[in-house]
Each structure stands twice: as C-alpha cells, then as structure tokens.
Structure 1
C-alpha cells in the first residue's frame, strides 16, 4: 500500500498544479480465485487480478473523472489531464463536493490471512467435499451443474485534497453449489451458497446437504388451483424482493423522482414487524468496509423501523443536495467508476419466531422457495408478477411440492401485509433476510 499512497499523492499534486481546485485519488488492487470441480475433477481454475487508479477532480463546481490501470507517473499524469478535460465539458453543479476528513473510522477485522495462506489444493478439496456431501445426501442427486470455491483479496487506498487519507485490506471466501435431482422423469434443481470473511467458517458438508435437500424436496412438484392464501417466503426469496427495494431507498432515486418512498419519511410504509437496515460496518458482513468509495465512514442506517420510513441512503452528492450528512453509502464497483449511492450489508432484521413455528401457525398457504422473473418487476411502481415454486402448507404442515404457479402483487402492499418475521436471518452476499409471512397473496395456478 506504500506505493499506492505515493501514487495517490503524486496524482493530487499534479491535479493541483494543472488547475483542479480539489481532487480525489482512489486506488484498488484486487485478486480473485475461482475453482470449479465436476465429478471430483478440476474443471476450471481462474485467477484474476485487477488494479488501477480512479481520479475525480473539481474545477470550480464542475466534476471530471478518469481512470488508469497503468500506474506509471506518465500514465497517472495523463489520467489527471483527462479528468480535468472531462470537468471542462461537464455542467457546473454546486453540490459536487468532496468529503472532509472524519474524526475516526470504525475498527473492523476484515482480513483473514488464512484465506491467502491456504494452498489451492486445499481449496479444491473444499469444492470436492461439497460435491460429495450432496451426492451422499440422496441417490436421486444425479447432476452437479457447478461446485465452486471462490475467494478474493482487496486493497483500497483513498486520498483527497481536503485531507482524507484512508486505507484498508479485506478478503472473503465462499462456496457455491448448483445441482439437479431426478426421479420418474422429473428433474428439479437445487442450490446453496455460503460466503464468509473467515476461512475456517466454511462448511462444505452443510452447503452440499442444503443444495441437495432443496432439489430433492421439489421432486414430483405440480401446480395447485388458483387461490388467495398466506405465503411464507424463505430467506433467499425475500432477498430477491429486497434487491427491488434497495434502489428506492436511495436518496438518488428520490431526487430523480424514481422512488415509491418519495415524500414518505415519518409515514407507515410497512407492517410494524418490518425493520430494514443498511450497515456498512456490520461485523462479519461481506460488504463491510471502514469507509465508502469517497472516504466517508460506514455505519448503520435504519431505513424502516417498526414499519415507519426513517430516511434514505446518501453519498456526499445527494447529502449536499438535501442538506444532510452522507450515510457512507457512496459505493464503487471498482476504480473504473465514480461513487454512486448503493447498499452495503442490506437486510431485514430477524424476528423472534422460529421458521418451524411460523409454518405451524399457518393453517393454509404456500412456502415459497423460488421465484422466476424478478427482473420483470417494476421497481418504481412496485408491481410484480413472478413464477413461483415451493411447498404447500396444510394445517400447519409442509405437505407436497408445488411448481408452475405465479404470485402477483405490489411490493408496497406486500410490505404492509407482513404478519410474521422468522428468526433465521440469512445473508446471500451483501443482502440478508429472514423468512417472512405475508397474510394474503394471489396465487395463480390451474
């Protein structure tokens, strides 16, 4: 990171010399390993590295951006000139500002050296063990579509001309499995994944059994008749809906009039059981970092509390426009783009009821384990109609598997009708949710 700091300072110095009023250098170095096995044999192994500098400059109140993967002094100086040229053709905007240095950043433990130290052969064995566990779970597991181990290491350095100087190192590792179970000319898919900041927390046996269990339980699935009934959605399905919700809870969407939550702060937008949180400093969170893509400290932002909308996610720009403080949600995909407003560890807070009790408490309904076509939902109006699969609930018991049905409704209405939140908060990357029960939904069958 020492050479990163030197490159960042050189970039700022050149920017000031060429005419930038303010400047920010963001350097990122990442390394990613992906290993896929099939039938115990390594099918693909990919090691990718990416490093570079993203530079933002302010000339007056016009912002310019440029990036380079070549970190030589000549290339960095070229990027500085490009950013300044880009600022010259941008419209002035008084809200384009850089953040001041904060008093402190949260202290987070994000780097487990065991991820780096573990031999590739050991990582391959984790993928093999996951595949074996799935096949051992049930002889009807016939095809392994993908059994993968993945890890990444990331170094970030951010320096701006107002005095922000910040660095961090992080790493994560994970397992992913997708497979097919077959019986009587019927085939059903199942998957499971587990991503962690700690190498020793990976459990290939559990991931293998979970993926196999998901496929096997759906064998023999068939539609049900059209009805209106209670729907319990398992955590993975809920995180899909959360993905729809996230953009609408950014101040950027509100300011562009693209959010169903615009003008509703302080109002009831969901059931009193619903609490939605974004926490960029969450302990163990895959998306945790001490600061965001602008050098603003991350932290916990309560967006919906007891069903009441409390506020929105901000970066420095949207915060300046609204006259508030940034929530530390200036996220970057990489050094190749300037920060935008986005979620970090974004989740629905768990309740106190076990999933088993939630099912037991549901006389008739559908336990939804999969939805298809979530991308067709309208994130502005909240309207959706998606294919669904799951297990029928009859007299508080999971009975037979169901496929070939659709559930339809409106996201805002659905949030209001949540009447049960389970305790099983599960994260899938940066989004997490427990199972939730919606009092009544339209289920279209045959």
Structure 2
C-alpha cells in the first residue's frame, strides 16, 4: 500500500490528472508425477507494479518488477512519457470507489498448510485410480497437482484503496488406453478454491473411463442428426461466444451480436451469465482489474440478448455502468474487457434423459481445431469424436468425423439443457443437445 501511494504521489507531482497503481504478488506450485515418482516440481513467484496515468484524456502505462522507490519513480516517468505519445480520448477515465464490495471466501489456508508430500501423494493417488479402472490404461502422460495464491492491491487517485487475497488448487491427468493397435487418449481436471474438496480418485477414474470408452472408435456415414455436447465440449463453444458478448467487440464492429439487444439470439432454453462474485468460482474476486465491484451479469436470458460485458472505458463510451469486467492478466497489462465465471445456466433434466430422448445422434466427447472457428461470423468446422446414439442408447465409439455450422444457429437449435453444470476453470456448461447438425464422415 505504501508503494502504491508513493507511485500515485509521484505521478501527481509530474502532472498526471488521474493515476492508478495495481500491485500483485503471485506464487504457483506445480507437481508432476509419472509412475509414482516426481518428474517435475516447480515453484514460481511473480510480483510487480503496473501504473496507469491519464492526463487530458491521454493514457499511459508502464510496469516494473523492482519495487524500490527509484524503480517506481522511473516507471512513473515512463508512463507519463507514454501518455504524451497517445491521442486524447475523452472516455479514458478511472472509476471512483464503490459503496460496497462483495464479501467472498477466496483464501483457504489449508492449501498452504498441506505439505508438499501430501500434494505429491494426491497426484500418485490419481495415477493409481486411473490404472485401477481398466488394465488397458497403459500410459499416464501427466498426473499433476497445482496450486496458486495471489494478493492484489489497487489504489487510484479517485479514492479507491482495495486489496484481496485468493488461492486455488487443482488436479489434472492425461493418459492413454490401448487395445491391440488402437490407442485412445483421456483426460480429466478439477480446480477448486478449497483443498479438501479435491478428489484424486474421482479425477483419475474419469480420465481412464474417457479413454477406455473410445477404444475401437471408427467413422460413421455423413448425416444430419441430433448432437449432444458433453460439458467440456459445450464449454469450448461457449469460449467462442465470450469475445462477442463484450462491449469492446461490439464497439469495434467485431461481434455477431451487435445491434441485437432485445432480440431472440438463441433457443428459449439458453441463458448465459457472467458472475465475478460467484461463490466457489475460480475467477471470483471482490473487484475487477480497475477496482469496480464484480457481480452477476445476465447476457442472454431465455434466448434473448440482454446486454454486454463492460469495463470502465467501454461503459463510458456507451453511457452505462461498468459490469466489473475489466480483466487483467497480470500487473504487466492494462484491464481489458473479459469474462470471469462465464457459464450456461443449467436445466432440470439429466444427461441420461437427454440421451434416452434421442432416437439417433452423436454424443460428442471431444472436438479438435476449435481455434480455427471464426469468432466474428461464428462459422466453425471442427473434428469430433464421441459415441453414436441409437434408439436412445449409447452404442459404439466414433472418431474421424467433423461437425460444422454456425455458432448462432447452434444456439438457436438447442432443444435440451441438462442440470449437470460443470466448470473448467472460469468457464462452465451443462450437457446440451442441438436438434440437428451436419456430421461429415465417410
């Protein structure tokens, strides 16, 4: 806090109209185990100060990892110099303090208190659990435990003085199952805010089952049929949706949702939210990367587009309030508009019921090439793998096919949403069914 105030004081002395100091300190532990032995153990630390200044609408930024006063003075001069080189923009403003911030449980001391040996054993248990599922699980590529803790301090010249501490922990495993000449991969991951909620046996078994169920996979004939997207796959499509729901994309005319607020853009079963203050959310925080309180933003409700995500800049341009979505990667970057805990609201039916109600289709468990999709037009064509659905039953594994379409069309053809909302980091989705999609096979 003293360093932050010193930076603001020096910025003011050099003529900054507004200034903001963002300090963060992070520590991350990664342990990878192979065949019961520790293969990698890495402890990384990162800390520094990012300084934004605004003078007559001109914004400048600089950062440092050296927190002594001489280094801080130098980045104040750099930020002021950078501001002098930019064009004035009346919407470059900093937020003022809020009346209240959400009270969140973000730091579990058990993460730090657990010994390294206990964390290694958790990764070993995950390996053992995977191998116990089926003898065809031959190779454990990665069995990893990870945790991280961070402390953020934000002070600006408009009166914000805020800080918070957070931590998370998680498990990840990837493996290979083989039968004859056939090899199939499987993975599972689970990240939590509380150490005692991690279940290495569950994660290991899930990865093994994912690999084993795909043994013997082969293509199917080209068809148009119902497609059920497993939560991990649906979350991948949701990731394509996120950038288009930011006000920044709309203002730059790079969003398929521009000009559609109040219109039906998805099936009535689809509700999409972003909640930076969600209990248990990996991306939860009391305030965003510029000090605005986080909260729950309904983006699509019952298929109707309700609005967009904002930081202070995009909100000023549109004459609205920031939604608390000024997201920062670290102290080395300025706050951009981004998602926090971003998810599709779960329905009430079970995934099993969705399958039983599907006469013919494909249960998609994996897609390849999602990065090739066009986030502006929404067009996509991706490789897919999964399990064939016949007469309401999962029958045989399928690989070597592609599914293609448009993201908005996909959303409009959703005719089933299950209740199994599952998060993968900061994004989550339940199992969803799309009434008809093009499946390219042989």
State the 1:59 CA deviation.
Answer: 1.0
Q: 2:11 aligns with which of 12, 15, 21?
A: 15
Partner in structure 1 of residue 158 of structure 2: 162
Give yes or no for the alignment of 1:365 onto 2:361.
Answer: yes
Please show how residues 298-313 of structure 1 align to structure 2 within 5 Å: 298-313=294-309
Partner in structure 1 of residue 281 of structure 2: 285
SS at structure 1 position matched to 2:233: helix
- String of CA shifts for 1:88-123, please: whole Å, max 9, x gaps: 001000000000100010000000000011100100
Unmatched runs of 5 consecutive residues or more in structure 1: none
SS at structure 1 position matched to 2:381: strand
Partner in structure 1 of residue 117 of structure 2: 121
Aligned residues: 442
RMSD: 0.3
Please show how residues 259-274 of structure 1 align to structure 2 within 5 Å: 259-274=255-270
Partner in structure 1 of residue 411 of structure 2: 415
Please show how residues 4-403 of structure 1 align to structure 2 within 5 Å: 5-403=1-399
Separation in 1, partners of 2:311, 2:194: 29
Name the TM-score, length of structure 2 as normaliser. 1.00
State the 1:368 CA deviation.
Answer: 0.1
State the 1:270 CA deviation.
Answer: 0.1
Separation in 1, partners of 2:4, 2:56: 21
SS at structure 1 position matched to 2:320: coil
State the 1:184 CA deviation.
Answer: 1.6
Separation in 1, partners of 2:425, 2:57: 37
SS at structure 2 position matched to 1:212: helix
- String of CA shifts for 1:168-208, please: whole Å, max 9, x gaps: 00000000000000002100000000000000000000000
Separation in 2, partners of 1:14, 1:121: 46
SS at structure 1 position matched to 2:41: strand
Separation in 2, partners of 1:228, 1:165: 56
SS at structure 1 position matched to 2:371: helix
Runs of 4+ in structure 1 off by over 3 angstroms are none
Separation in 1, partners of 2:403, 2:134: 30
State the 1:364 CA deviation.
Answer: 0.3
State the 1:60 CA deviation.
Answer: 1.1
